[in-house]
Each structure stands twice: as C-alpha cells, then as structure tokens.
Amino acid sequence: MKNNNSGVVRRLSMRSLKNNKMRNIFAVAAIALTCMLFTTLAAMGIGMIDVTQESTMREVGGRFHAGLKAATREQMEKVTADERVRSYTWNIFISQAENLTRRQYELRLAQGEEELENSFITLAEGAMPEKEEDIIVDTYVLDELKLPYETGVEILLEFTFHGEKISKTFRVCGWYEGSQISHASELYISEAYWKELKGSLTDEDFVAWGESHPNEAGAGLYAVGLYFDSAADIEQTVRSIIEDAGYDPDVTLGYGVNWAYMQNRAEAADPFSVVILVGALVVILITGYLIIYNIFYISVFQDIRFYGLLKTVGTTGRQIQGMIRRQALVLSAIGIPVGLAAGYLASRIVFPFMLRVTGYDSLGVEMKFSPQVALFGIVFALITVFISCRKPGKIAGSVSPVEAVRYTEGSGVRKKEKKSETGARIHRMALSNLGRSKKKTTLVLLSLSFSMVLLCVVLTGIGSFRIDAYLEQRLLGDVLLAPTYITGGGTVMSSGVDEAYIELADAQPGVLSKNELWQIFNRTYISLDETGLERYQSFEDQGILREGDWGTSVINTAKEQRQLNADIYAYDTDILSNLKVLDGELDIEKFSQGGYVLLTEIIGDHTEGARIYRPGEKLKVLTVTDDSEAIEIKDEAGNIVDYRFTNLEEKEYEVMAIVEIPSSMTDQSSPVNGVRAVLPKQDVQTSPYSWCFGVSYTVEETQLDSFVQEIENYCENINPEMGYLTKASLMEGFDSMITAIRIIGIALSAVIAIIGVLNFINSIVTGIIARKREFAILCSIGMTQRQLKRMLVEEGLYYVLISGVISLILGTVLSWAIMTALNNVIMFFAYRPNFLAYLIMLPLLAVLAVIVPFAAYRRTQKESIVQRLRDTEN
C-alpha cells in the first residue's frame, strides 16, 4: 500500500537541514569553492581562446571568414553575388614603402570605413582620405619619421608601382595606433590618387604584370574579405562558391581561410594545452567530489539513527535519498551563486595579469563573462554535488531501523585483537580511532594529501626553471648588438650589424671582450653523397622529418638535387667553446686553421640523433656566388614555391664534430629538415654573401649602464633597424613569466588547500559531535578531560602525519616524473627537488590539528555526563 507522506518528508528534510548548521556552513563553502574553480577555469579558458583568436585575426589581417587573393573586379562581383556570402569588404594592394625600414609598410586603397574596422583599425584622429595627397598612417610610421601624432603633418614615401619608381609627399588625414602583432602597417591612400596612379591600366594588365613579376603579384588587384552566416566548414564553403562562380579555386582564383576561427583549428589544437585543460577539470572534479562527498557521508552517519527512525514510521529508502538530494539542492542554491560571483571576481583580477604576461595586453581585450561561463560553472558544480551525495544517500536509504539505532562509528565485525599487557595507551587509542571508519579517514587523508602534492608539483616546477640556461640560450656576454629582426621588434630582414654601430660600442669605456657572429645569408647547402642520401632517406622513412610546405620542399630538394639546406655560421675562437659537442672532439686551434666543419643534427621536432655525416667523414659545402643562377620551382598550378640555384661553389671539409649551437649564437631562424654548420671565420668572411649578424660584448659592471644608454640612443635616433639585448632585460622578462606561473599555480593550490583544510576541520568537528556519548562513557569510567583532549589532538596529528608521508612520497614521485618530462620540452628547465610545500602546509595543519579538537570538544561540554549518556536518539 502506497503512503502519501511526501509533504511530511519535504518538511522533515528542511527541518533536518536547519538543525545541521555546521554541516551547512562547510557544504556551502565547499560548493562555492568548487563552483568558483569551475567558473574561473571556464572564464579564463574562453577569455584566452577569444584573445588568441583575435590576436590571430590581427596577424592574418581581418575578421573575414575567407578571402579572395588577387581577384579582378569581375571575379569579385561574381563570387560575392552568391547568396551564401552574407557581406564582404575589399582593399587593393598597391606597393610597399621603400624608404621606411623599421617594418613592412603597405600602401592600400580601402573600400571604406567598414574595411578599416574589419582590419582592426580605429582612427584615433582624422577621417577617411579624399584628396589626392591624403593618407592614413599608423603610429609606427610617425615614430620612425619622428613626427607628432596629429593630422596635417607631411610624409615622403618612395615606392614602386607597375615598374615605375615613385616619390610622393602625402598629408596625414588620419592616424591610428599601430599593432605589434600585425606583420605590417597599412597605409591607406585616397580613391582620387588611386585613379591618377592607375591611369588606363586594367585588371588584365595587373594580372599579366604579376605573372611576369612574381615579387609584385597581386598589386592593383582586389583582396576581398568574405563573411558567411557561420564559421563552420569555411574552406568547403568558399571553394564551392568559387566553383559555382565559374572559377577553379586552385588555379584561376586563389583564396585563403582565416584560420583564427577555432572551429577550423580544432584539428590542430595543441595536445599539451588540451591535456592541461582536461587535467585542470579533472583536478577540480576530484577535489570538489572529495570534500562534498565527505561532508554528506559524515552527515549521514551523524544522523543515521534519525534516518532509521524514519524507516520505522514508513519512510522509504527512495524518499530518504530524495531528502539528501533536496538538501544538496538547497545548499547548492546558496553556494553556487556565491561561487559564480567569486569566480567572476577572480577572473577579472587574474585575466589582465595573464594578458600582460603573455604579451596580449596591447589588444585591449577585456574579460567577457558570458552566459556560457555561468552555465558551465553551474552545470559542473551541480554534477559534482549530485555525484558526491549519491552514495551517502544510498547508505541512508538502505539502513535498517535496528542497525541505525545500534550504530556507533566503526562498529562492525573486527578481527580478534590481542590483549594488551600494558593497558590502553592514549596514542594507541588515537591511532585506533582512525581505523574505525576507514572510508572517512581515507577521504580526509586524500583531501589533505592532494593539496600538498599539487603545491609540491607547482613549487618544484617553479624552482626547476634555470635562469642561467635561459640566458645562455638567449645571450652571449652582457650585451648583444644585432638587427631588430633578431633582437625583437623588427620584421624587416635588414643587412648585418651597422659598422658605425660597432664603432660606437667599441669606443665605450669598460669593454672587456668583444666577439663577432657571422653567417652566409644566401642559400647554402650540404652536398649529399650516397651515404648521406641513404641516411636522409632513412630519417624520412622513420617519420622524424617535418612535413608541410617548406619541410616537404627541403626533403624533395635533398632527394632530387642531393642538396641539403644548411645555415652556415662562423664565430670568433673565444666563443667556439660555447658549442655543445655531441660527438667527436672540438680542437679549436686545429679548427681555426681551416679544412674542418662542425655540423649539427637534423633540425626538427624529433630529430635527436639524426646525423647526416659523422666525425671523420668528408662533405662538400655549396654556396651561392655572383655567377649562380636562380631557377624557379613551380607547383602543378604554376605557382612559384621555391628556387634552385646553379653554378654553386663547392668546397670540401672534414667533419670535426657534431655539435649543438645555442640559440644565442644563431639568427633565431631554423633550417627545418636541414642542418646548421660552423665554418672557420675566414672562410665565411670571404663570401660575397656574408655579414656579421651580431656582436657580443662583455662590459665592466660599473660602465654597463652608460654603455647601454649609448647604444640605446643609437638605435632610437640614428638607425632604428639596429637593436640590442641585455641580461637585465632578459631576466626581467624571465621573472615575469615565472611570476605568472607562480601566482596561478599557488592560487590554485591555495584554493584546493582550503578545500582540504575544510574537509579536515569538518571531519574532526562532526566526528567529535557524533561521538559525544562515547566520550561521556570514557569519562564515566575514569578518563580525565585532559587525557580525552590529548587523544583528540593526537588523532588530528595522526591525520597530519600520515597525509604528510603520503604526499611526500607521491609528491616527490609525481614532481620527478612531470619535471623530467618537461626537461625534453623546455630548454631552460632542469628538475630540482623542492620540499617547501611541506614546510608550509604541515605546520599549518599541525596547528589546526591542535586548535580544532579543543574548540569542538568544548562545544560538547555544555551538557553533563549523565545527559550525554542518556542521549541515544539524537
């Protein structure tokens, strides 16, 4: 016969909830913290995805879904007439400024303000160009010309259009803040000037000119940004539209897909980033589960007699489970909004800091707390809550009335114990009490250990970054003089280091040493004989060579022409010792006499041990001379994909050693699937295509500041193409990166530690309250309050001791495993054990293990021993 006591059960559930105030406080705090972690993870994740996407869009040059390359007006009109094209904007590339060298400056004609907006350009002052002399520029142009940020100033630009050298003075009608992320600065002329410049030339003329002059391909033609209703299947959509318009997307009309849209980049998602995000989600789920489960588990056994009595009056197990879920839902209704608010505030604080560290702060992007973030936090918090209270609910619903009334924590069948000859000892009683409820004890130990393990991993990771290895990879000596495309901030590849720049540095007081870094900047190769070709083919067969447009081209050149791409370097003898020898011996004096070459392994992602030649073997170095001729290599569509040179100069060398060249001794470029080679300095300097790309200085500490001031003045006021690196600037950047990792890692560890501590406090407090009748019995047979307090304190200290041992072992093993793996990923990383986490957490937990039992025990002393002995039903 069914009973209709649902209303009574609801009232009982709410009244039971009101009576468990301590449990409610801990539960709400746990749910709020769990929701905060989920919310912060979602907000930061979505925020960084948005930032990365916008950064990529700026790098690509627009918000468009897809774009047409070098299209005629007829082609543009046919394609954009398709109903799948929601809207479009266009610009016409004209030329590049030749008298400005700090970066690439492109002259364009824009369709209108909408084109500028879609290209992330907002005028700080001024309006669109109308007159022939009007032009829009960015702050990079004004900075290079040392002009004020204002309209009306005049600038002289030199450029080439359709084979004609042009020099024209423009008047700035508008300016905008330049973007460091963009590869180029866009300068927009007026339609009036474009008509004058174009004259009678037609689109067909521009197409023909581009075919005969590949370096100017696209000039005078339309670059069209296409916008669709959805960012899904962009490439398939744009290809279909082009084909329906009557063109071949691979031959007659080129296109591009904006790979900034995440839907189209899902396949290329960084596995390491995915693992980190999934790992963070799992960590939060486990942490939230541990504390919420423990709270309800302890609460159920504290009220087990209450649930047993409900069974005697007809309440079903299913209804009791519903009571537990209802209580969890009510507590969630309080904790989740608090967690959402806390997560939002935490995200608002941390997000700007992350932008500064990652270099995205210049984008001006703000945290957007979208409904999806709130939904993510709510859903996962609720999932965690209901998973956590499911098992305690089943326990409460399945208990029989007789079992419930007789229940005492840890009661049940025990193995026969040996009689103690020395009587009961306090520390033995305390340790034995931990085993009375093994599941609860295990949960508390896991929760405490987990926070210490995570903090140990974070602090070990921070301590394993090696500033000395970082500086070694980035800088020789105290100061490096080099072009800006090497030191950073420049995108235009200029010549080597300015001689006047070197003379200025040489003249400064305090210079202790100077070392030059040379390279041959034109195409250079290593000739592959039968042995070398066979080895290279084996590397391809093993799948360790990188595929892709450039990588595949290098592989094909090596196999077909027997010419392996090689970056050729040369150094002063004083810094040759910085090379890391992997095989063979480096005899610097013998090497300097000539006839020897130092060779690296194949440059790639997984090419350790991939060596084309070995010490003692001979090879030929091929270099371009004035008599060499470049032959174009085209793909099936007729596009130029590479060049091959004939009449190369050959010179034979013996391989002295296989070496690894630090990044600080290169121009930061990588010959993917090729090698780097070091030749004697005199052999490189005699090449007509060589330059000194860097000069390293060691300076007296007292003179270093004045040295840096002089070269900084040269870079800013005399030759902006020149730059420099100093130890101080590199250390500052390194410290910023480490600080970011430290703050984020410690913040996450702190939140999880708080959850662990709450779990510990909740376990101790509820355990003492549930055992007050037991304590009364102990007092009635002679145990003093001092002995009882000591037992409770020792129980807490055993928790701390055992969790400390577990976390010490597990934390050390995990730290070693994770950091050893990172050694192979990060160049300036080496595992260093760090036990600071235990020095921080164990004393804190020990203090809590003393304070909490005292406070909880005092609460039970409000009743007399007789009253507590009579208390069998509460």
pLDDT in tens, 172-230: 999 998 876 666 789 999 999 999 999 999 999 998 888 888 778 889 999 999 999 88
Q: Closest by alpha carbon to 32, among 450, 451, 381?
A: 381
| pLDDT at residue 848 is higher than 60 | yes
Q: Does residue 137 carry a pLDDT above 70?
A: yes
Q: Using CA atoms, how far apart are residues 84 and 338, in angstroms rounded to an integer? A: 45
Tell me the Ramachandran region of residue 288: left when phi exceeds 0, alpha when psi lies from -120 to 50, beta otherwise.
Answer: alpha
Residue 192 has a pLDDT of 94
Both tokens assigned to 642:
């590479």
The structure tokens listed for 228 are: 């669709």
Residue 874: predicted pLDDT: 42
241 pLDDT band (50/70/90 cuts)? very high
How far apart CA 717 and CA 639 sit, in angstroms, is 42
pLDDT at 636 over 90: no
pLDDT band at 804 (very low <50, low <70, confident <90, very high): confident
Handedness of CA 208, 213, 214, 217 (dihedral sign): negative
pLDDT at 30 over 60: yes
Q: Is the model's pLDDT at 718 over the cut of 50?
A: yes
Task: Find the angle CA(824)-CA(825)-CA(828) to the nearest 5 degrees.
Answer: 90
Give the pair of three-digit tokens for residue 743.
């703050």
Residue-wise pLDDT for 288-318, tens only, equals 666 677 667 666 666 666 766 676 766 777 7
CB 673 within 8 A of CB 603: yes
User: Please, is 358 exposed, middle or buried when counting C-beta atoms within 10 Å of its C-beta (0-12, 13-18, 19+)?
Assistant: middle
Dihedral sign (CA 672, 678, 679, 682): positive
Confidence of residue 412 (pLDDT cuts 50, 70, 90): very low
Q: How confident is the model at residue 519 (pLDDT cuts 50, 70, 90)?
A: very high
User: Among the listed ranges 88-97, 113-122, 416-425, 703-712, which one has the minimum average pLDDT value?
Assistant: 416-425
> DSSP states of 702-716 as a string?
GGHHHHHHHHHHHHH
Report whether 486 contacts 799 (CB < 8 A). Answer: no
Q: What is the chain's mean pLDDT, rounded?
A: 79
Output the pLDDT for position 664.
84
pLDDT digits (tens, 9 = 90+) for 492-510: 555 688 889 999 999 999 9
pLDDT at residue number 1: 46
Q: How large is the average pLDDT for residues 334-355?
A: 82
Token couple for 490: 């420049």
pLDDT tops 80 at residue 422: no
Q: Which of 69-78, 812-821, 864-873 has the highest mean pLDDT?
A: 69-78
* Selected residue with higher pLDDT from 90 and 29: 90
pLDDT at 869 over 80: no
Beta strands in 467-608 (DSSP E): 479-483, 511-520, 524-527, 563-571, 580-584, 596-599
Question: Among residues of the chain, what percentage have pLDDT more than 70?
Answer: 76
Q: How far apart are CA 370 and CA 378, in angstroms?
A: 13
Q: Which of 416-420, 573-577, 645-649 has the lowest mean pLDDT?
A: 416-420
Q: How far apart are CA 307 and CA 591, in angstroms?
A: 87
Q: Are 622 and 679 in contact (CB under 8 A)?
A: no
Alpha carbon distance 433, 454 (integer Å): 28
CA distance 596 to 657: 9
Whole-angstrom Cα distance, residue 202 to residue 696? Answer: 53
Q: What residues have CB less than 8 Å from 821, skipping those under 6 apart?
A: none
Lowest mean pLDDT among 265-274, 790-799, 847-856: 265-274
Is the pLDDT reported for residue 617 higher than 90?
Answer: yes
pLDDT at position 416: 43
Cβ distance 66 to 223 under 8 Å?
no
Between residues 251 and 341, which one has the greater pLDDT? 341
Reported as a pLDDT band with limits 50, 70 and 90, residue 131 is very high
Burial of 541 from C-beta contacts in 10 A (0-12 / 13-18 / 19+): exposed
pLDDT of residue 747: 73
Average pLDDT value for residue range 759-772: 70
Amino acid at 276: I
What letter does residue 563 receive in the DSSP assignment? Answer: E
pLDDT at 639: 54
Q: How far is residue 757 CA from its own chain's centroid? A: 30
Q: Are 495 and 588 in contact (CB under 8 A)?
A: no
Q: Which two tokens stand for residue 742?
A: 């430290």
Beta-bridge mates of residue 525? 565, 622
For a pLDDT cut of 90, what percent of the chain falls above it? 24
Residue 660, H or E segment: strand 649-660
Per-domain boundaries in the chain? 1-62+258-407, 66-72+85-252, 523-680
Place of tokens 């090596």: 558
Residue range 787-809: average pLDDT?
A: 85
Q: What single-letter amino acid sits at 317?
A: G
Neighbours of 139 (CB within 10 A): 16
- The yes-or-no verdict on residue 866 having pLDDT over 70 is no
Helices 785-823, 836-860: crossing angle, 10 deg rounding: 150
Q: Would you say residue 817 has pLDDT above 70?
A: yes
Structure-token pair, residue 348 = 């608002």
Which of 22-36, 499-513, 682-696 shows the lowest mean pLDDT across its residues?
22-36
The answer to whether 305 and 16 have CB atoms below 8 angstroms apart is no
- 803 — alpha (psi -120 to 50), left (phi > 0) or beta? alpha
Contact 58, 182 (CB under 8 A): yes
Q: What is the pLDDT of residues 728-751, one digit of tens each?
A: 777 776 776 677 677 777 776 777
pLDDT, average across residues 19-26 = 74
- Pure H helices in 703-771: 704-717, 727-770
pLDDT tens digits for 373-394? 788 788 878 887 887 777 777 7
Q: What is the pLDDT of residue 640?
A: 56
Query: In this predicted structure, which of 16-20, 33-37, 67-71, 202-206 has the lowest mean pLDDT?
Result: 16-20
CB 749 within 8 A of CB 451: yes
Nearest-angstrom CA–CA distance, 584 and 131:
68
Is the pLDDT confidence value at 421 over 50?
A: no
Residue 804 near residue 815 (C-beta atoms within 8 A): no
φ/ψ region of 594 (left if φ > 0, alpha if ψ in -120 to 50, else beta) reads: left
Q: Measuring CA to CA, how many Å separate 294 from each of 173, 455, 666?
A: 68, 22, 57
Residue 27: pLDDT over 50: yes
> Looking at this protein, which amino acid is placed at residue 665?
M
Angle at 19 between CA 15 and CA 25, to 5 degrees: 115
Residue 551: its pLDDT value, please?
A: 63
Q: Is the per-residue pLDDT at 635 higher than 70?
A: no
Task: State which amino acid sits at residue 612.
Answer: I
| Rounded alpha-carbon distances, angstroms, from residue 7 to 302, 303, 611, 698 | 24, 21, 79, 84
Neighbours of 449 (CB within 10 A): 22
> What's the average model confidence in pLDDT over 777-788?
76
Per-residue confidence band for 120, with pLDDT thresholds at 50, 70 and 90: confident
